[in-house]
Amino acid sequence: MQELGRIYWTRQGLRLAYSAVMIWFAVALMSALMAKVTPAAGAGPSSAAGVLRGLFDGVVAAVTLPGVAAVVLGIVAAVMTNRDVRRRDPVRRFTRQQRREGMARAGGLCELEADFGRRCGRPAEHGDHFYPWSKGGSTSLQNFVAACARCNRAKRARIPSPAQQQRLERRRRDYVPPSSSVSVGERQPLP
């Protein structure tokens, strides 16, 4: 799966940008609230309503830009989620044949990662989509990893990092029969 790096880093970047915008929003809001309030034009300088309106204007001015940025990022995220859903493989369950071949390739043991990038190696109970099904991962032997119950639960629907992919492919060179490919991960094309 060549494009995993691009997919993964795009999403990480989006997440980072969203956190940055939220911090920007909070800082802008705080400083607007703590700024010395200039009463709104036309109101008496000591009138409470004038002070409040001035405060309100200041807050609106301060949060407009980060607010627009948050909305734009939210739209981008919604478009990506929508495309993930459209990519979904109509078949979610691996066939018996795929399970048999995938489990045989893994020697019946979990292929996922324990600590320090080592192989988990507990008896595998599940066939797992390496690239998550919900994000458009294919129900194919190429996207099949043997997983124990614990790793399967821990993995959930997170997109694996390119480094995790490389480590799995490297580990596979040690146990996969020479007739099978070590490469892992497949995503459905957009319909």
Binding site for Zn ion (CB under 5 A): 110, 112, 120, 122, 148, 151
* DSSP designation for 158: P
Angle at 27 between CA 22 and CA 32, to 5 degrees: 125
The number of angstroms, rounded, from the C-alpha of 19 to the middle of its chain's C-alpha atoms is 14
The b/e string for 55-86 (b: 16+ C-beta within 10 A; e otherwise) is bebbbeebbeebbebbeebeeeeeeeeeebee
DSSP 153: H
Indicate the residue among 7 and 106 with the shorter CB distance to Zn ion.
Answer: 106
Q: Which C-beta is closer to Zn ion: that of 99 or that of 122?
A: 122
Judged by beta carbon, residue 32 or residue 112, the one nearer Zn ion is 112
**Least Å distance between CB 164 and Zn ion?**
13
Minimum distance between the CB of residue 150 and Zn ion, rounded to whole angstroms?
6
How far apart, in whole angstroms, are the C-alpha atoms of residue 186 and residue 132? 9
Instruction: CB nearer to Zn ion: give 7 or 124.
Output: 124
Buried b (16+ CB within 10 A) or exposed e, 144-155: bbbbbeebbeeb
Q: Give me the least distance between CB of 149 and Zn ion, in Å please.
A: 8
Bridge partners for 179 per DSSP:
none
For Zn ion, the closer CB: 24 or 175: 175
